[in-house]
Amino acid sequence: MNANETLYLKYSTKRLESMLPLSRVTMMKWYNDHPEQYSVEQINNYIYCLFSFPLLRQDGGVIRSQKDLNQGRMEQIILLVYEGDVIIADCAAIHTTMYDCLFWEPAVEYVCTESDWMYLEHYTLCTSAFPKIPYPAPFDVNADRVHGEALIYSNAYVTTSYRRQGIFANMLQMVRDAALRNTVDHTELYSVIALDPDIACYGPDSRDEPYIYSYEKDEPLRQRNCVIMRHVGFNPVKLEELEPEEHGDGAKLWFALRHEHDLIIEQNGKMS
């Protein structure tokens, strides 16, 4: 781990310490021994710091020790983009196999109880990718026809004044590459993201006020996000055909899916 990688991993783990499965000191030691779990790159004038960590043990239990980290199953991927020491963009996703996304009960329970948005993303991904499999799927079945990886994005935001520089597309590409870092042959990647209005978690646009849905304000933003996701290869999906009532809750209707196949990724021991 070089000095620049250490610096930005320290920045990031300190900022997001409450999200880490173990203490940031333990996590930094683990990253030092597992370079495949992080990537720190400079693109143009910005530093992209991506790191991942397992969420569950092989037996479905919660990660509680460093030993558990080495035997993890299903992972959280987080990407923070810095200008100096200021976060100007961020992205996060849960990565698992498509089989586990459908059939492994601990993974399904974890994702679907994370939030209403994540539950509906999971529903949209599973029912769209495998419409003949009932939802929720029966757990622990032998489904040989289900292969590939799944990415369920929980958030993606670029500070307003930094947009139109390709940062969002770079983030999606880096998260995609991280999910496929161990792939050495043909595979498939199923991705889903919500088209809900952007909510800044960090950086200059962040606010202390909670997000409150507004049809008049948010529906045009969702339409804009729909156009953006088409540009990066996603297919927008609407869960309901009818428009919500003016004062109804339309905040969870729009999603976007991407199915990539025949991908060949060379394993190089570290994310690239």
CB atoms within 10 A of CB 60: 14
Q: CA–CA separation, 98 vs 12, rounded Å?
A: 28
pLDDT digits (tens, 9 = 90+) for 66-75: 889 988 899 9
223 bridge partner residues: none
pLDDT value at position 115? 87
Closest by Cα among 225, 202, 238, 217 to 91? 202
Domain boundaries, the chain: 3-263
Say yes or no to pLDDT of 245 above 80.
no
Say yes or no to pLDDT of 271 above 80.
no
Using CA atoms, how far residue 216 sits from 191, 210, 245, in Å, is 28, 18, 11
Task: Calculate what percentage of the chain has a pLDDT beyond 90.
Answer: 64
Say yes or no to pLDDT of 267 above 50.
no
The CATH T-level fold of domain 3-263 is Aminopeptidase (3.40.630)
pLDDT value at position 197? 66
3-class DSSP state for residue 125? helix
Greater pLDDT, 192 or 225: 192
